[in-house]
Structure 1
Amino acid sequence: MTFEQFEALSFYLGISGLFVLIALAIKDILSKGDVPVYGKVMVWLVLFLGCAGFLVKGLIQVFF
């Protein structure tokens, strides 16, 4: 494994870990707050779209 591969793998694992921590924090805040269902759906949708954008960016870099 070269340094560039290790760097890329570490970067993607680190960003993925951050997404997990953000999701856990959002889940905790939404469960403790009095948030309506519509608000919860919007928050999770935005988080999902951010993750999906990150994954699509990675796939575009690999294939192009």
Structure 2
Amino acid sequence: MLAEYMQQIETLGLNLFFAAIFFFIGMAIHDVLKQGNVPKFGRYIVWLVLFLGCAGFIAKGIIQMTWEGAGIG
């Protein structure tokens, strides 16, 4: 039974790994911004860039799921 779902388990594990990586990157950026006394405008720009990277990753996953569901990819 486990062999039947191996690809789904690998996909889920990879997605959880990327979510953890984004979390740790966010924590590291928060620490650097806090210790560097970065102005608020700079902090907003940094968080915007981080959010857009995360949103792009999520959009890629959604697009991939819809294409695979439709039989395109």
**What is the aligned residue count?**
64
TM-score by length of 2: 0.84
Higher Rg = 2
Counterparts of 1:21-60 in structure 2 under 5 Å? Answer: 21-60=24-63
In 2, Cα distance between equivalents of 1:62 and 1:15:
16
TM-score by length of 1: 0.95
Gaps of 5+ in 2: 68-73
RMSD: 0.9
Bigger relative contact order, structure 1 or 2, given CA contacts below 8 A and separation 6+?
Answer: 1
Runs of 4+ in 1 over 4 A off after TM superposition: none
